[in-house]
Amino acid sequence: MAKRTAYLLIAAAGMILLLFPFPGKTALEKEPGPKIPPDRIIINLPPEAGRDDMPPVPFLHTRHTNSVDGDCVQCHVQKEGTLVFRYQRIDLPASMDLYHDNCIVCHEQKKSAGEPAGPTTAQCRQCHGASVPDPEPGTHWEKIEFDRSLHYQHEVSDHIPSPDKAVSPDNCQACHHQYDDTAQQIVFERGSESACIYCHKKESADGVRSIREASHDACVACHLEKKNQEITAGPIDCYGCHAANVVAELPKIENPPRLKRSQPDAVFMTGGTAVEDQTSYRISPVIFNHKQHESAAVSCRVCHHDSLESCTSCHTPDGDEKGGFVRLEQAMHADTESGSCVGCHVKETRAPDCAGCHDVMPRSRMNEDTCLVCHNAPDRGVVKDAGMRKMRAEQFDTPASAEYRTVTRADIPEFVVIGSLSATYQPSRFPHRKVIDGIARRVEDSDLANAFHKHQQTLCMGCHHNSPASLTPPACAACHAPAVDGVPAAAPRVPDLKTAYHEQCMGCHQKMEIASVPSTDCLVCHEKK
């Protein structure tokens, strides 16, 4: 009998050990995945002295909205046709009792009514440190980027009340404001509109509300107000703005007009002078086409990352604390930062349309010739008058595509038969002109590409590399010798001819994501012998 109980005990212990192989890994210790549902709000009160700290509560807002059938006042206080976007309070700080006394009570009520409900008393860990299910693919939370189409729709909407509607038809002042420190109040200043996030940062500080609070109170409150007035307005639930797939369904205006902020069309950018009364700038100034870059960048904040002032106000040539000690030269040329000129250009070359050629080009992309593309002012003399500078900029600014010159079509061979190696396969009939057309098509709309390429012959150099630009470039075999009977090529960096062809062609196809020519399908390019 004792043997039998012993066996039973061992079996039970084995089962328990099998079911819990890794004790200690709770849901909260799991690495947060990159995808979270848009309506997840983390309730995490600061720890109180003398009290055990419970893990934060992930609160799913949409789930609760649905459970009260959209009746917001169950949890939110009403205010002037809209709501206070805080839980059951207007100004009181959050506390444990606030949440427990309201959340749990509602859950208990629902439970006794026989409806599905959340955790009730003594089910602490079902809220605290609960795991949130992964969202469906495509419905995860995404950062809201500035959208010119949406902004324009707000600009021209008749339903948005603007404080100075009588003076001007624009709705700018409905949202854009400044804060007057001396008067300690919000003021409206035309012509000083900028991004909300310049002042409303990620966390609330010094009486300035966080971007989340500010935008919910400004945007969602207004949407809700309009909805209560039976006017079609923007989303009022989390998924409506924060889920990428829902945002994609919002009405879109193609090519919205330029933002009205009195931006310059061209800017005369100088590097300053070494001493006060010098007569020429340190380097040829840059005639910067601001208008073109406005449409190229997603939003102003790509370059004006902290304020709309000019870059040199913080990024001085010698470095200043305001600019984080990032010198002007670094701010303009750092090729890893997308906020710098060169960095953004480099990032653009990584797009599939450009990567075929640009990915195989070695790192040091800046050389003596590329400086001139930007530092293109014909005159290096100091211009003291601001009006004169503006005139200079507009005078010398030319759209890049106007300078772009194409190669005569007859000079581009239509087919090139690559047959110097044909042991296993037939010679390959390469549709040379078709490929050039494909590449040209992709880049000719890009002002950035045309500014740097200037001549279509530059495109030839993507494949006909390491040799001067020419309409009759040297043959590949001039440098890439075919491997003879297994003997290796001369140096690692010069592959043999077969490898050179394949690396060049397949590499380009892969990087430009051309699915019609899979690398593993040999017969697409050459038939078998």
Q: Identify the bridge partners of residue 41 per DSSP, sorted by sequence position.
A: 59
Q: Which is nearer to another protein, 348 or 447 (CB)?
A: 348
Least separation in angstroms between residue 524's CB and another protein is: 13
One of 276, 402, 485, 515 touching another protein (CB under 8 A): 485
Question: Is residue 54 part of the contact set for another protein (CB under 8 A)?
Answer: no
Query: How many angstroms separate the CA atoms of 366 and 373, rounded?
Result: 11
State the Cα–Cα distance between residues 225 and 82, nearest whole angstrom.
5
Residue 21 sits in the site that holds another protein (CB under 8 A): no
Nearer to another protein, 298 or 522 (CB): 522
Number of H helices, E strands in the chain: 21, 10
Choose one: 10-18, 226-234, 443-451, 479-487; the region binding another protein (CB under 8 A): 479-487
323-382 binders of another protein (CB under 8 A): 350, 359, 362-363
Question: Using the rule CB under 8 A, is 34 a contact of another protein?
Answer: no
CA neighbor of 130 nearest in space, from 118, 140, 112, 115: 118
- The yes or no reply on residue 499 touching another protein (CB under 8 A) is yes
Residue where the block lists tokens 């950062």: 143
Which residues within the stretch 104-123 sit at the binding site for another protein (CB under 8 A)? Answer: none
Rounded least distance, CB 136 to another protein, Å: 20
Q: Letter for the amino acid at 347?
A: K
Backbone angles phi, psi at 286, to 5 degrees: -100, 125
Is residue 502 close enough to count as binding another protein by CB under 8 A? yes
Which of the ranges 15-23, 291-299, 377-385, 514-522 carries the binding residues for another protein, by CB under 8 A? 514-522
Q: Quick one: which segment of 13-21, 28-36, 288-296, 497-505 binds another protein (CB under 8 A)?
A: 497-505
Nearer to another protein, 300 or 355 (CB): 355
Decide whether 316 or 499 has the Cβ nearer to another protein: 499
Please give the Cα distance from 197 to 175 (Å, whole number): 13
Nearer to another protein, 363 or 384 (CB): 363
Dist. CA 529–CA 484, nearest whole Å: 20
| 426 touches another protein (CB under 8 A) | no
CB of 356 to another protein, least distance (A): 14
Which residue type is seen at 412?
I
Q: Which is nearer to another protein, 163 or 518 (CB)?
A: 518
Q: How far is the CB of 507 from another protein (least distance, A)?
A: 7
Residue 225 near residue 240, CB atoms below 8 Å: no
Rank residues 110 and 358 by Cβ distance to another protein and give the closer one: 358
Least spacing, CB of residue 70 vs another protein, in Å: 39
SS3 state of residue 458: helix
CA 321-197-295 angle, to 5 degrees, is 95
Residues 90 and 95: their CA atoms lie apart, in Å, by: 13
Shortest reach from residue 522's CB to another protein, in Å: 8
Q: How far is the CB of 497 from another protein (least distance, A)?
A: 11
Among 486, 515, 516, 529, binds another protein (CB under 8 A): 486
* Options 19-27, 206-214, 401-409, 505-513: segment touching another protein (CB under 8 A): 505-513
Nearer to another protein, 301 or 509 (CB): 509
| Binding residue for another protein, selected from 129, 271, 317, 507, defined by CB under 8 A | 507
Closer CB to another protein, 123 or 519, in the complex: 519
Q: How far is the CB of 137 from another protein (least distance, A)?
A: 15
User: Shortest gap between Cβ of 334 and another protein (angstroms)?
Assistant: 14
Q: How many residues bind another protein (CB under 8 A)?
A: 24
CA 470 – CA 350 distance, rounded (Å): 25
C-alpha closest to that of 416 among 456, 458, 463: 463
* Rounded least distance, CB 343 to another protein, Å: 12
If one asks whether residue 498 binds another protein (CB under 8 A), the answer comes out as yes
Angstrom distance (rounded) from CA 152 to CA 149: 5
- Give me 256's structure tokens: 């919205």
Contact indicator for 263, 157 with CB cutoff of 8 Å: no
The encoded tokens of residue 20 equal 């819990």
**Cα(191)–Cα(210) distance, integer angstroms:** 24
| 62 HSE (CA, 13 A, CB side) | 17
- Residue 425's DSSP bridge partners are 528
Binder of another protein out of 492, 515, 528, 529 (CB under 8 A):
492
For residue 299, give the nearest of 261, 325, 268 by alpha carbon: 261
CA-based nearest residue to 238, from 104, 39, 15, 454: 39
Look-up of token digits 């303009």: 332
Nearest to another protein of 300, 506 (CB atom)? 506
Q: Are 373 and 451 within 8 A, CB to CB? A: yes
Instruction: State whether residue 181 is helix, strand or coil.
Output: coil
- Contact between 487 and another protein by CB under 8 A: the answer reads yes
Question: Does residue 427 touch another protein according to CB under 8 A?
Answer: no
Residue 499: CB minimum distance to another protein, A: 4
What residues have CB less than 8 Å from 61, skipping those under 6 apart? Answer: 39, 40, 41, 237, 238
Give the interface with another protein as residue ranges (CB under 8 A).
350, 359, 362-363, 483, 485-488, 491-493, 495, 498-500, 502-503, 506-507, 510, 519-520, 522
